[in-house]
Structure 1
């Protein structure tokens, strides 16, 4: 046993690392074990090289059930993903789909392969000066090609994992993860089972392919010139010869399930850009807690004289919404008739105003002038009220953006401002509360259209 032998806290299993090999030995009770070792003799890979043949030549004794852990750099070289790049930043730009977070020169981005990682995976190491390595175009396809090639060359059924190095949220240091896979169970879904104490497992899905990738990295090393490792002893991780598996793409969270999709400043900016007026909602109930969190965000808006000029009336029952909207509709119809509108015109306008009626949740933001100053001068008193109105608008904007952050759609409708007395009476509000429109809230019935890009410079004057 090598001098750097380590003992597992669980007892019985021992891990050793010597000569580029790591073992997990079965204990006396016959527990499963595996062995992982790095291959020597892989030459410098060049464009057009057949990786399966190079691996077969380095390790002709591969067996059914082995897993090959292949560093993405050699896959990229074989596929000609080396590009001239005197400016690495430009290469990163070209591979970036979306900036997730930025701090100084460091960028965490989503790249063309759908992976969220530093610098889009563009690498200037282990490649000639003046060039950079891009990730394989489709690492799952690359893994399948290596697997098929090894089956043709050696007649073995193996799994293949293409690996790359990632940093991770909340954790210091780097580790290898799977970016491509073939013939490997990438996720082990344990939900519906039970633990050793009989407790149900309701959220446990193990990233098996990432664990395999990390095991290979322990023996490959980052600068040892050993880009391929073999793991033996876990045949259950390898699928049947005619089953390529779902690929490592299955490890990438969907945007809807990703709670940490953006960095702080990017999340704020994306929430602002993603806030769109939604006029059609599903019947899915709205979480009242989400609305209250949005109200808490609204209260961070600036206000004059250290005041709190915002109040939010939440209409959570269908009865309260119907009473308010019926009373507002009657008042609106009366106004339109006084204006001489025809009955057809009145009916058409009322139909256009039904966005509030179709929402499963309404909020009525109100302005209160508590703490305002009275000057006895029309000009100054008007300016004083305008300050409070601006503060109320800032609160409403915060509220709408926070709702978007909660994945709720909303529409701010000004109608309550035109019948404030009616709204105050129906909702039993104090005389000093001025309704500032109403906000329809719910889950969008369809994805809002993309916001058209606007050139900020067109809205700026510099003096």
Structure 2
């Protein structure tokens, strides 16, 4: 019998466990494994395929279709292409088909993942301790694909008695360079190593790792799931678009955080993909990145607005109230003024046609502004479109030194929202649809 000292430093022994019977519902996995491997010892780590855990826990269910089972296990759809769905399942894992498996199970049934894989690992570890009097680590594994990488590998979906992550931040490498972002997914690496000896079709659902007792410790596979706030790739394409549109709200209170000009330019790049008549480009965006430029424009606009209101006979109180509505522009750390240009428009010499021609360009500009606002939301920036520049276009053109044929179409206040936006009243799409 080999011992841990029989292996050279820096080496592991990984082998698949033979002799396990077909697992049925209600089976005592700890007893089955202890019977097949009575020589397990302290410090060993067991890699257990989730399928046998699911079978023992009765997670084999009758399903008219696998799709219905996937629907039931799905929390959100991340991406979809044809019949393939990448989803977040009830265990918090993002994987194809929610982990629902129609293989290695009777016709007309599907196999679901363990309801709580971490709890399953805890129970199996406690059972082996009771039967064999040893302390081992247990990792429940499942097969998963990976973004940007072809092929499948096993990952840890449940764990007990194993440090699933090894945080090396604060340490240094062999050259003395600081490690600032290195956190190793030890449990996933072990799961993949076990898959090499278990195989996908070899009927060997359990592997043992010996020689890595240093990986034992407290931990759960939940730690491997990146928190939503830290996940830069949380959304699939279709969901990202829906989420950005849903998050697009009018923000009227901003922090003092400086806005990244690059983010605004990326939003402009999205804006100019909007449709436009006659293959034209009717959008122009004036970006006010200096506080002086913003102040000069808003002061001039305010004076023009006050003069107009006085001419309309408004009281001082009414004027002050109306002017205060423009405070959202003053408080924003960044302003953009979208403008309409009619380059490439047709002149018909007929009022109805010429009016319709301008309306086409106005609609195209509105589409560009909407793209701009949604793209800002996708960048994590709040915005408020305010129409005020449309009421004093001459003043805006003069202050910003714009060509006479640039028509300012409002102003967009941009910044980090100082507080969560208020809930939008529900809008049922059906209320805005007429079908003929």
Q: Considering the TM-score relative to the shorter chain, is it more than 0.5?
A: yes
C-alpha displacement of 1:181: 1.4
Q: Which residue of 1 aligns with 2:345?
A: 372
Say whether the 8 Å CA contact 1:290–1:403 is kept in structure 2.
yes
Say whether the 8 Å CA contact 1:81–1:135 is kept in structure 2.
yes
Q: Using a 3 Å threshold, how does the CA distance of structure 1 residues 450 and 138 change in structure 2: closer, same or farther? A: farther
CA distance in 2, matches of 1:200, 1:112: 38
Q: Which residue of 1 aligns with 2:232?
A: 259
SS of structure 2 residue aligned to 1:328: helix
Q: 1:75 aligns with which of 25, 37, 53?
A: 53
Q: Which residue of 1 aligns with 2:167?
A: 189
SS of structure 1 residue aligned to 2:239: helix
Provide Cα deviations, 1:148-199, integer angstroms capped at 9, x if missing partner.
2222322222211111110111222111001111221212222333333333
Q: 2:301 aligns with which of 328, 331, 336?
A: 328
SS of structure 2 residue aligned to 1:357: helix
5+ residue gaps, structure 1: 1-22
Q: Using a 3 Å threshold, how does the CA distance of structure 1 residues 149 and 358 change in structure 2: closer, same or farther? A: farther
Q: Does 1:177 align with 2:142?
A: no
CA distance in 2, matches of 1:86, 1:216: 33
CA distance in 2, matches of 1:178, 1:147: 15
Provide Cα deviations, 1:124-153, integer angstroms capped at 9, x if missing partner.
112222221211222222222222222232
Q: Which residue of 2 aligns with 1:401?
A: 374
Q: Using a 3 Å threshold, how does the CA distance of structure 1 residues 136 and 433 change in structure 2: closer, same or farther? A: same
Q: 1:231 aligns with which of 191, 209, 213?
A: 209
Q: 2:185 aligns with which of 207, 222, 230?
A: 207
Q: How does 1:259-278 map to 2 (within 5 A)?
A: 259-278=232-251
Say whether the 8 Å CA contact 1:273–1:451 is kept in structure 2.
no
Q: Using a 3 Å threshold, how does the CA distance of structure 1 residues 346 and 55 change in structure 2: closer, same or farther? A: farther
Q: 1:34 aligns with which of 5, 12, 33?
A: 12
Q: Which residue of 1 aligns with 2:277?
A: 304
C-alpha displacement of 1:454: 4.4
Q: Which residue of 2 aligns with 1:110?
A: 88
CA distance in 1, matches of 2:97, 2:17: 29
CA distance in 1, matches of 2:206, 2:85: 28
Q: How does 1:60-459 map to 2 (within 5 A)?
A: 60-239=38-217, 244-245=218-219, 247-449=220-422, 454-459=427-432
C-alpha displacement of 1:455: 4.2
Q: Using a 3 Å threshold, how does the CA distance of structure 1 residues 450 and 229 change in structure 2: closer, same or farther? A: farther
Q: How many residues align?
A: 432
5+ residue gaps, structure 2: none
CA distance in 2, matches of 1:283, 1:46: 61
C-alpha displacement of 1:295: 0.8
Q: Which residue of 2 aligns with 1:12?
A: none
TM-score w.r.t. the length of structure 2 is 0.93
CA distance in 1, matches of 2:31, 2:255: 55
C-alpha displacement of 1:104: 0.9
Higher mean alpha-carbon deviation, 408-417 vs 323-332, is at: 323-332
C-alpha displacement of 1:270: 2.9
Q: Using a 3 Å threshold, how does the CA distance of structure 1 residues 451 and 159 change in structure 2: closer, same or farther? A: farther
SS of structure 2 residue aligned to 1:179: strand
CA distance in 2, matches of 1:451, 1:109: 27
Q: Using a 3 Å threshold, how does the CA distance of structure 1 residues 143 and 329 change in structure 2: closer, same or farther? A: farther
SS of structure 2 residue aligned to 1:163: strand
RMSD over aligned CA atoms reads 2.2
Q: Using a 3 Å threshold, how does the CA distance of structure 1 residues 369 and 99 change in structure 2: closer, same or farther? A: same
SS of structure 2 residue aligned to 1:356: helix
SS of structure 2 residue aligned to 1:253: coil
